[in-house]
Structure 1
Amino acid sequence: MLKPILISTPHMGDRELEFVQEAFATNWIAPIGPHVDAFEQEFCQVTGAGYAAAVSSGTAAIHLALRLIGVETGDEVFCSTLTFTATANPIIYQGARPVFIDSDRTSWNMNPNLLQEALEQRARIGKLPKAVVLVHLYGQSADIEPILQACNQYEIPLIEDAAESLGATYKGSSPGTFGSIGIYSFNGNKIITTSGGGMLVSQDQELVSKARFLATQARDPAPHYQHSELGYNYRLSNVLAGIGRGQLRVLYERVAARRRNFEIYSAALNNLPGIEFMPEADYGIATRWLTCLTINPAAFGADRETVRLALMEQQIESRPVWKPLHLQPIFAECECFGGAVAENLFASGLCLPSGSNLSTEELERVINSIQSVHEYTKKYLTIYS
């Protein structure tokens, strides 16, 4: 029986268990503790962020970011459309309304020109958004400078969703550290994991201090439990922070492994007609968190879904790229500027197994399965043409 090959699984190093055992030995089994403090400090050292607050998930970090920016009921928030729903759900939590911005072909991320047009249109009618949420997709930074310039022109805070892009660079710096607030995720499928967890970062110390306060049920300084504003149970466990400290120490090894996966896939599949890999923009280095490609069925001989199902028959997990949020039923009433690029990427795009612990043999199984689909369809078309 074939062993399943999954999209992206946790990959532990040598230090995680040591830090977890230390948490047990000192009885710091709580959503605070020395590992949490150290994880925040070490994360800032790795990313260049000024200050950091470790929280229970990337979604929690986005929710806190919107709250800190002052997003309220009735506000609009501009948001990338080609992303996971967790990017936009917290906008709804705050009673606000997402407005989606299409991708560009260069990076698959938010199109800076469309954002500029959307902001100009809203400025003309006196209805500027309260914030912009920019996603750095599949391990690649968006083109931050023109996006930040457009936000600054209208004095709109930029929140960077770098959940998928820890370890990437934009002109030598870490995506997530340019805007007012950046967020990261340590979900089990991310490039490093704490099982579940996230990080909120900012160069503004007061914002991060307020994030920690809100994430700890907004408990006022008093000998009794007193609360003057709404808070959340969003702080990261000291045990999980220990895992994160160990994972940080192998971050760039994990990046190198995922980039190796891409190079192997690219060398083997780039010559197939109709196959194009997600491009790497020239302004930075992508982690290739997931290796993604598009399939032109007219040239390849089969569409994305046929390839996905063929891989599934071989116990190989693959997935379509994110369904654009403006096509999701929950956001059906929301406006979108553009949309055709994201829709095309969804229709033709496929994410391949990309874990940093994949063996060469496993990568070859994936490659051989994709090549077999092409060979079969080419033979079939030759016979019946």
Structure 2
Amino acid sequence: MKSRIWLSSPHMGGNELSYIKEAFDTNWIAPLGPNVTGFEADLKQFLNTEKEVGALSSGTAAIHLGLILSGVVAGDEVICQSMTFSASANPILYQNAIPVFIDSEEETWNMCPVQLETAIKASIANGKKPKAIILVHLYGMPAKTDEIVAIANKYEIAIIEDAAEALGSTYKGKNCGTFGTYAALSFNGNKIITTSGGGAIVCNDEAAKNKAIFLATQARDEAVHYQHSEIGYNYRMSNIVAGIGRGQMEVLDKHISLRRDMNTFYKNIFKNVEGVTVFEEPTDDYFSNHWLSCITVDESKASFTREGLRLALWEENIESRPLWKPMHLQPIFEKYDYYGTNVCENLFNTGLCLPSGSNLTTQEKERITQVIAAFLA
């Protein structure tokens, strides 16, 4: 059987083991230590920001803490992009809050500013102004950030920026992950860099970071004994995992370049194929890391369907995947309000994520090319 070509597999740089070995040699086998501190500093430097970064167990944990620090409690409304992975929305329910889902716009596939403001006005009219907005940069593509930030500022609503897929992406030269009141990064095994599992929260200042870390380490009060005055969580990153992250930061720029090369690779494959559009930046204001390269298939123009292509790739042991199923169509979330038309639903029905890893070999790319060419023929 042919070897599997994965959608997005981990790609080690080489120096990760040296940081892990140092942790073992110095016995820093704990959710704190030099690698944790160093990884946070590396991320802050890469983001080119005065904000503070706290390393956590996952990007989901970062969103959850961002909601807590934004004052979200049971019964509050939180606005969330519908076209996203469930981890963007699940923490809203952790807080027993109420998600309100927003459709995408067609240029970036992210939250539609028009529908966002419509939802905010409707909530205010019902006597319940939303407490936070979860803004996602889907597949590494920056959202229409200026418009969304302006709306959030107009109504004085906190933004929690889900930049889990967008490390290294920029909007008007500014890094994704630095626009929100809080932001979440992810280092899951399929992300542009990985710590096997892990994430980070980006906070406006040191006081906010300290509060986030306090909550992430079981909210233990300062006392000789164990004392707790608030609910805490086991959300801190270990020094071992952070060591992997430090090694990965050394190759992050290279990984971004290789992911962007994969987007060009697919643009070349599909450039003369009617009905197929490769997802790319709408203007020069946007710079995507192209964490995943995606296409949409217009069945009225193409001679095939999205699902047909997916199955043809799968038969050759090449992984591809439909775009995220919108949250408002998910069984767990379908009872909540949704503002929009059918943009994200159409994207789900016609879109396909293609193998995009920074570690794809020349031979694997040739296999992908040949399988797609044979299918199109």
Name 1:383's counterpart in structure 2: none
Counterpart contact for 2:76–2:128, Cα < 8 Å: no
Pairs aligned (count): 375
Counterpart contact for 1:77–1:131, Cα < 8 Å: yes
| Aligned structure 1 segments of 4 or more residues deviating by more than 4 angstroms | none
Q: 1:339 to 1:367 in 2, by over 3 A?
A: farther
CA distance in 2, matches of 1:364, 1:113: 43
CA distance in 1, matches of 2:279, 2:128: 35
Name 2:204's counterpart in structure 1: 203
CA distance in 1, matches of 2:66, 2:341: 26
The secondary structure found in structure 1 opposite 2:295 is strand
CA apart distance, 1:299: 2.2
One of 306, 313, 318 as aligned partner of 2:315:
313
Counterpart contact for 2:266–2:278, Cα < 8 Å: no
Any idea what the Cα deviations from partners look like across 1:221-257, whole Å, max 9, x if unmatched?
A: 0111111110001000100101101111111100000
Relative to the length of structure 1, the TM-score reads: 0.96
CA distance in 1, matches of 2:15, 2:353: 30
Matched, 1:42 2:80: no
Structure 1 segment 96-107 matched on structure 2, within 5 A: 96-107=97-108
What amino acid is aligned across from residue 199 of structure 1 in structure 2? Answer: A
The secondary structure found in structure 1 opposite 2:301 is helix
CA apart distance, 1:125: 3.0
Name 1:19's counterpart in structure 2: 19
Name 2:259's counterpart in structure 1: 258
CA distance in 1, matches of 2:185, 2:65: 13
Name 1:241's counterpart in structure 2: 242
CA apart distance, 1:355: 0.3
Counterpart contact for 1:261–1:363, Cα < 8 Å: no
Any idea what the Cα deviations from partners look like across 1:118-156, whole Å, max 9, x if unmatched?
A: 222223333211100000010111111110110111110
Structure 1 segment 36-185 matched on structure 2, within 5 A: 36-49=36-49, 50-185=51-186
The secondary structure found in structure 2 opposite 1:300 is coil
CA distance in 1, matches of 2:279, 2:343: 13
CA distance in 2, matches of 1:121, 1:94: 22
Counterpart contact for 1:36–1:242, Cα < 8 Å: yes
Counterpart contact for 2:101–2:338, Cα < 8 Å: yes
What amino acid is aligned across from residue 9 of structure 1 in structure 2? Answer: S
CA distance in 1, matches of 2:126, 2:330: 27
Counterpart contact for 2:188–2:195, Cα < 8 Å: yes
Name 1:350's counterpart in structure 2: 352
The secondary structure found in structure 1 opposite 2:273 is coil
CA apart distance, 1:326: 0.4
CA distance in 1, matches of 2:118, 2:93: 24
CA apart distance, 1:278: 1.1
What amino acid is aligned across from residue 68 of structure 1 in structure 2? Answer: L
CA distance in 2, matches of 1:32, 1:70: 27
What amino acid is aligned across from residue 343 of structure 2 in structure 1? Answer: V
What amino acid is aligned across from residue 257 of structure 2 in structure 1? Answer: A
Name 2:7's counterpart in structure 1: 7
Relative to the length of structure 2, the TM-score reads: 0.98
Counterpart contact for 1:218–1:232, Cα < 8 Å: yes
CA distance in 2, matches of 1:196, 1:338: 34
CA apart distance, 1:160: 0.2
Any idea what the Cα deviations from partners look like across 1:188-208, whole Å, max 9, x if unmatched?
A: 000000000000002222111
CA apart distance, 1:297: 2.1
CA distance in 1, matches of 2:129, 2:370: 51
CA apart distance, 1:14: 2.2
Counterpart contact for 1:186–1:193, Cα < 8 Å: yes
Counterpart contact for 2:135–2:160, Cα < 8 Å: yes
CA distance in 2, matches of 1:366, 1:323: 25
Name 2:339's counterpart in structure 1: 337
CA distance in 2, matches of 1:48, 1:207: 18
CA apart distance, 1:304: 1.0
What amino acid is aligned across from residue 328 of structure 1 in structure 2? Answer: Q
The secondary structure found in structure 2 opposite 1:207 is helix
The secondary structure found in structure 1 opposite 2:220 is coil
CA apart distance, 1:339: 4.2
CA apart distance, 1:112: 1.2
Considering only aligned residues, what root-mean-square deviation do their CA atoms show, in Å? 1.0
CA distance in 2, matches of 1:127, 1:86: 24
What amino acid is aligned across from residue 15 of structure 1 in structure 2? Answer: N
- Give the percent of matched residue pairs that are identical in Structure 1 and Structure 2: 53
Counterpart contact for 1:101–1:339, Cα < 8 Å: no
Give structure 1 stretches of 5+ with no counterpart. Answer: 376-385
What amino acid is aligned across from residue 210 of structure 1 in structure 2? Answer: K
Give structure 2 stretches of 5+ with no counterpart. Answer: none
Name 1:359's counterpart in structure 2: 361
